[in-house]
Amino acid sequence: MNLYHQALIDHYKNTSYKKLLPQADFSSAHYNPSCGDRVSFQGRVQDNNLVDLAFGGSGCVISQATASMLCEHFTGKDLADPLSFTSEQLQELIGITLGPHRLRCALIALQALQEGIVSYQTMKTADVK
């Protein structure tokens, strides 16, 4: 368990994904009013792959480290992969089982990423018509 906690702390303190992404194809933000966590995502897409991801925000270690871990995990992957990612897979990715309150802290990052991808896909579909 200590190893997993260290991984969270490392992603929280030393992430290279917390930045602005020039020429992003999508951006999204999610806010949890019950705790004040904020997570935003930006992404670049090429050939239906997430070629670059970045996040911003503020909040607890879990929300911010999860955002970093999601960037690392999904960069280079198919655009659809994050859309089918479950809360169980998210907990496996971060390496700890979370109670309901802390799970919401982690899910805010996944929800923001998923919303950004859905908005991108909606925009692309509208462009085709």
Range of the domain at 92: 2-128
As for how many domains the chain has, the answer is: 1
Give the pLDDT confidence score for residue 129 in this predicted structure: 62
pLDDT digits (tens, 9 = 90+) for 30-59: 999 888 999 999 999 999 999 999 999 999
0.85 exceeded by pTM: yes
Give the sign of the dihedral formed by CA 57, CA 59, CA 61, CA 62. negative
CATH number, position 17: 3.90.1010.10
φ, ψ dihedrals at 96, nearest 5°: -140, 150
Closest CA to 43 of 125, 128, 123, 127: 123
Write out the two tokens for 109. 């990052």
* Cβ neighbour number for residue 85 with a 10 Å cutoff: 17
Give the pLDDT confidence score for residue 97 in this predicted structure: 86
